[in-house]
Amino acid sequence: MRTTMTALAGALAAFGTLLATGTAALAAGADLGQAAQQATNWHAIVMFVIFVAGTLGITYWAAKRTKTAADFYAAGGGITGFQNGLAIAGDYMSAASFLGISALVYGSGYDGLIFSVGWLVGWPIILFLIAERLRNLGKYTFADVATYRLSRTPVRSFAATGALVVVIFYLIGQMVGAGQLIKLLFGMEYIYAVIIVGALMMIYVTFGGMVATTWVQIIKAALLLSGATVIAFGVMFQFNFSFEQLFARAIEVHPKHQAIMSPGTLVSNPIDAVSLGMAQMFGTAGLPHILMRFFTVPDAREARKSVFYATGFIGYFYILTFIIGFGAICLVATNPAYLDIVKGGLNLRGGNNMAAIHLSHAIGGDLFLGFISAVAFATILAVVSGLTLAGASAISHDLYASVFMHGKTTEGKEVTVSRYASLGLGVIAVLLGIVFEKQNVAFIVALTFSVAASANFPVLVLSMFWSGLTTRGAVIGGAIGLVSSVVLVVLSKTVWVQSFGYAEPIFPFAYPAIFSMPAAFFFTWLFSVLDNSPRAAKERAAFEAQSIRSETGLGAEGAAAH
């Protein structure tokens, strides 16, 4: 009973964290925005049922293999670099990437690539700075690395809080996006769509843990890459595989004409452009559900392979979204069957996020439309499963086992707490998805990356590379990054004006990372160098041993035997 109550308390703590910092979520965003419900798409429903049946079978298989904490959190460390790279790609390529970026390219042309390029260039940072050391120093979560030589209770409390804020913000966007997407693609009521997604993700995570989540992500990545490849191939076939012909036709039919081949229409303010780029680049290296994946491989070598393969898959995918966006300009915007006659212009039936979906119909008819629709839904399921597992791990491994129980618990109890936390997070995600249905939540992805870049990334990277880091500096500096990133978003035009109704924003820029991330680094450094306590001296002295292990892997966790 005590374990159950602790788990429920952890889930409630996660919800409390959201309420404490969640004012920003009033403007934060879903992937897809408001959508009009469409006619029932039976092809998509049948294919989605097939996908769900297959993944539930995988979950049943995974549940029998999930016996220890290492199995639940990290799939026993037995995932290969190639498999993990594909799973990371599946975890990272959200519906926002597939539908949102292609829609941005459809509306703005070349400038839509600013988002895909920004998210992609974060991966070299992970490859060269983080992956190897993370795998050698950690066990299940990135808090393991941050607390390797720092005080366990305060640093884990901060790390878990930062992870939960990122996870819950991201979950809001994914759940609202799921509901809107299913209204568009399946003709299903919003509330039922959100409940179905929540129920499935709870089943995947609660019973199958990381093993099931990994294979759901692998299958989803393979389906998404295959579907996007077919669409892009179909587009290029229409233009004799000539980019010159594709771009010339797009310039001809788009209302902006030659302007679609120039940057500056989406983000014209240079401070916002730099801030957005910082959030995307460094935020990727602070996402808890991405960092957690590096503990699923046997060693640091496979961790590096994971990043290499993931970068290749993700880069290839973003090239496809670029082709899909321009293809939609040429083949969808010129077909009245796909256009919203009432709104006119480039506006599409069901909203402009339907650009890739309508293009799939133009390329392959109703059957291919059903396949792409089911893949888009599977995409959200894979992402929310990874997020839920990361949030549950923060509650059970970081808070329950390390902070509340001071390490005096069993693996069995810890996994039980994680299962209850998964259920709690699933319920919270469904409720928030319903509550935020009518909100303009298109900003949440940028907010999530800003928080990850300002709170998680500075503490993680300094704990690995700077011998002078102390517990006091990490907690205070990280907290300043967390709070400032959220507060600045609340004071920006997106929230202060568009959601709260005030005439002028207090913070004049859209993205806070250019201010909040340097503030986190500065105050982490300042409070560390000012810390002359005996504990700080021990933490500095312990850096050499940490450095040896991070570079050699001596003493690192190995794969579990099955």
Model confidence pLDDT, tens digit, residues 231-273: 999 999 999 999 999 999 999 998 888 888 887 777 778 888 8
For 523, the token pair is 């105050």
Q: Cα 37–41–42 angle (5° rounding)? A: 145
Q: Which amino acid is at 303?
A: A
Q: Which amino acid is at 89?
A: A
DSSP-derived secondary structure for 167-180: HHHHHHHHHHHHHH
Residue with tokens 């996908």: 51
CA dihedral 61, 63, 68, 70 (to 10 degrees): 70
Report for 134-148, 196-210, 431-445, 534-548: range of highest mean pLDDT: 534-548
Query: Percentage of the chain surpassing pLDDT 90?
Result: 34
**What pLDDT is recorded for position 514?**
93
Task: Summarize the confidence of residues 366-389 as an average pLDDT.
Answer: 85
Among 552, 534, 543, 518, residue whose Cα is nearest residue 466: 543
Q: Say what the pTM is.
A: 0.84
**What pLDDT is recorded for position 542?**
93
- What's the Cα-to-Cα distance from 209 to each of 10, 33, 60, rounded to whole Å? 18, 30, 11
Across the chain, mean pLDDT equals 83
- Tell me the per-residue pLDDT of 393-421, one tens digit each, with 9 for 90 and over: 999 999 998 899 988 888 889 889 999 99
* d(C-alpha 304, C-alpha 282), whole Å: 18
Radius of gyration for the chain, computed over Cα atoms and rounded to the nearest angstrom: 23
For 219, the token pair is 């299958």
**What pLDDT is recorded for position 557?**
61
* d(C-alpha 52, C-alpha 539), whole Å: 48
**What pLDDT is recorded for position 140?**
87
Q: Please list, in sequence order, all residues whose beta carbon lies within 8 angstroms of the beta carbon of residue 62, skipping any fewer than 6 positions away.
A: 207, 208, 209, 211, 212, 215
- Tell me the per-residue pLDDT of 32-86, one tens digit each, with 9 for 90 and over: 455 555 566 677 778 888 888 888 898 888 888 888 888 888 888 889 999 999 9
- What's the Cα-to-Cα distance from 132 to each of 92, 94, 123, 141, 440, rounded to whole Å? 19, 25, 13, 14, 39
Task: Summarize the confidence of residues 489-516 as an average pLDDT.
Answer: 84
Q: Which amino acid is at 352?
A: N
Task: Summarize the confidence of residues 430-446 as an average pLDDT.
Answer: 73
Task: Quickly count: other Cβ atoms within 10 Å of residue 182's Cβ.
Answer: 30
- Residue bearing the bigger pLDDT, 144 or 374: 144
* d(C-alpha 31, C-alpha 16), whole Å: 24
Residue 441 banded pLDDT, cuts 50, 70, 90: low
Task: Summarize the confidence of residues 278-305 as an average pLDDT.
Answer: 89
**What pLDDT is recorded for position 7?**
41
